[in-house]
Structure 1
Amino acid sequence: MGATTADVGQSGVVPAALKRRVPKYVDLAPLMQFKKPDFSKAARLQRANTIWDLRDIAKRRTPKAPFDYTDGGAEAEITLRRARQAFFDIEFRPGILRDVSSVDLTTEVMGKPSRLPVGIAPTGFTRMMQSEGEYAGSQAAAAAGIPYTLSTMGTASIEDVAAAAPHGRNWFQLYLWTDRDRSLELINRAAAAGNDTLMVTVDTAVAGARLRDVRNGMTIPPALTLKTVLDASYRPAWWFNFLTHEPLTFASLSRYTGTVADLINSMFDPTLTFDDLDWLRETWKGNLVVKGIQTVEDARKVVDHGADGIVLSNHGGRQLDRAPVPFHLLPEVSAALKADHSDAAIILDTGIMSGADIIAALALGADFTLIGRAYLYGLMAGGRAGVDRALQILEKDMARTMALLGVSQISELTPDHVRILGA
C-alpha cells in the first residue's frame, strides 16, 4: 500500500520545493518591476477602472461650486441616493453554457443604430465643469457611435456642436419658453443643423431646491469671491482654462447672470399643458422624445399626444426630492406601453454609474439609456480624454456583464435576467 500524505508528513520528509534557500538574483530579477512614476493625464485616466474612480479624480481637479452642481441633487438628495441604491438592490440571474465568445452591444434607437445602448444626456453649463465642455462630449459620442444631446442651457451653440462633431448623431433638448417665437427659433436651428431628435424636458415648471448651489453661492459665470479664489489655489488648471478661454454664456440664449434657480424661474413656463405638446408635435417633423416622465399614466399620455419616445427620468434627482425612481418604474411602464401596442422608445436615465446598471435597465424593459453625471465626471477628470475613458469603462462593464449572464446580444436580455430584491 502507498504512503498517505499524513504518513509523509509524520516521516519528516520535506518536499524539495519547500526547502529554504538563499534567493538568487536571476530568480529575483523578473519579480522586480519598478516603474518610473507617470503623472500624465493619460496615465491618470487609465488608472481609473470605474466611474467612481473618475468621480474621485474630478473632485480633486474641479472647484467645489461646479463639482457640487454636477454631483448634487435637490433638497436632502433623497431621490438621488434612492436612484443609485435601486441599481444595487438587484440580483442578476445568469444563464450557463451559452456561446458568449462574441458580445454585440449594438442596438437601435429612434430609427437609427447605436454602437452602444447608451447616449449622452443633456447637461447645462457644461463648459463650467471643464473648458472643453459640449465639444468634448459631442466628439467623444461621435467617436463611440452613440447619440449626444445638447441642452438648451448648454455653453456651446447648436451650430458649433454640429461643426465640432459633423459625423456624430446630435440630438437637441428643448425647454419650452413662455416666448414661443424664441422656442420656434431654436427648433428651426436644431433642424437646420441636422438634429434628427428633439427631446423636450417637462419636469422643470419651477426650479428644484438645489441646496449645494445655494450654499456655494453658485452663479453663472462663477463669481470671483475670496472663497473661490482660495478654492482656485488647489485647482490651478481649472482656473487657468476658465480664465483663458471664451467666457461662459448660454450659447443658445442671450447673456444671463444670476443663479440657476433665478434663470429657470424667469425663463421656463409653469403654465405648460398637453396642448403645448400637441403644438410641438405639429411643429417638429423629426423624432420627438419627452423627458421627465415619472408615472405610467403620463407615459401613456405623451405617447397618445404623438411622442415617439419617452425618457423615464426625475432630472437626476435635481428637481422634486422623493420623486419616483425611474428604474423602479421601468417594468410597469414597459408592460403598459406594450399592452397599448405602442412602439415608442423607452429610454431611462438617473442613477447609472456602471455598465451593469445599463444592462439591468435593458433587461427590465428599457430600449436605451442616457448618462449625465457619469460622463461629466470623466469630463472633469480629463476633458475629451476623460469622456472617452468613461465610455470605455461602461462599454467594458456592459460586455463583461452580458457575457457572465450568458447573453451575446442586447435582444436576448429579458426580465428573467434580473430580480429586484425585496420586490
Structure 2
Amino acid sequence: MTTRIAVVGGGTGGTVLANKLTSKLAAELDADEVKVILIDETGTHVYKPVWLYVAFGRADPSEGLRPLDDLLDRRVRLRTSRVTDVDTAGKRLTLGDGETLKYDHLVLATGARLVPDRVPGLAEGAHDFYSADGAERLRDALADFSGGRLVLSVAGMPHMCPAAPVEFTLMVEDWLRDRGLREASEVVYTAPTERSHKLPPVADWTDERFDARGVEAHTDFAVERVDPDERTLHAADGRALDYNLLVTIPPHAGVDLVADAGLGDDGWVETDPRTLEAVNAEDVYAIGDTTDIERPMAGSVAHYQAGTVAERIAAGVRGHTPTATYDGKVLCFLEAGLDEATFVSFDYDSLPDLREESKLVHWAKGAYNESYWLTARGLI
C-alpha cells in the first residue's frame, strides 16, 4: 500500500520539506511505496525578502520568483491547484476543480496573507513592501519623495519578517542621506509593542541606532485608522501623527482553510511548538507562518521546521516512533542601513546576542539572497 504525503503550500517551508522528504525516503519513493505531493495555488515560488530591496531600486521583482517545477526534486508530484477543504477525519483534501485527494500524512505550509482592510484607510493611504506590487509602488513613491515626514508604522502583529520594519527605517534613513534629503526630512517609526521591537536585545540595538540617527520612535502605538485626505495616522489611544509618506506593515492573517477545518483561530494552525503536530488533528503538521507558535515569521524558521517534520514523517513511514523535535532555532540577518548589517540567532532557550554591524555581514546577506534557491532545493 502506498503512503501518500501531501504538502499544501509551495513557499520556503513546503518546498524545502518536499525536497527533504525525497532525500530521506529515496528508497521508498523509488519502490513506489511513498508518494510526495505538493499542492500550490500558483505554481510559482516567491522569495519575499527581495521585496525590501525592490523598494530601494536595488533588486527587480523577478529576482524573487522561480517556477516550482525548477526547484522540486523530480520525484515530487506538483499539483497546481487551490485546496478548498481539509477533511482531517477522512484524511481528504478537496481541490478547486472538485477533485479529492487522500493523504496519510498532511503538512500545512499555507503561510500568511495581508489584510490591510482591517485598518480603515490603510489600503488607500499607505505603502508597503510586503508584495511585489507594493514594493514597486513604494519604489516609485520614494523616487518622487523630495522631503517631509516619512513614517514607518507597524500596523499589525504578528507579521512576516519581524526585523523588516527596523531594517526599512534604517535603510530609508541612509537612503535619504545619500540623496541629500535627510535635513529636509523627518524619519518616524511606530510600533504597537512596549518597545521598538518585541525582543529586548533587538530593541536595545534598535534604540541605540535610532537615537544616533535622529529617528523619532513611538511605541505602544496601536494603529486604529488612517486618514488619507488629511495624511494622518491615528492610534487607538488618541495619538495622531501627520505624514507626507506613510509606509506600513499591514495586518496579517492565516488562511480561511485552516479555520474552516477547525485547526485554529484566524487561520493559524494550533501547533505543538516542539513536534510541530497540529493539536486538533492526527497525522497533520504545520510549519512556517501557518503555525500559531511564538516564533518569528521568517524563512529560516520554516527551513528548520521543515527538517524536523521531514525526519518525523520519515520515521512514521518506516514504522518507527518519531523523536525529532524543533528547538525554536531562528537565524536572521538585519540590515543596519544600505551597506551594513548584523544578524540574530536564538532558540527557545536563548535570546539573541547582536554583533556590531559590518559591511561583511551585509555582503553575506546579499550572497545568501543569491544562493537561497539552493536552500529551496534542499541542498543547503
Q: TM-score, normalised by structure 2?
A: 0.32
Structure having the higher Rg: 1
TM-score, length basis structure 1 = 0.29
Larger strand proportion of the pair = 2
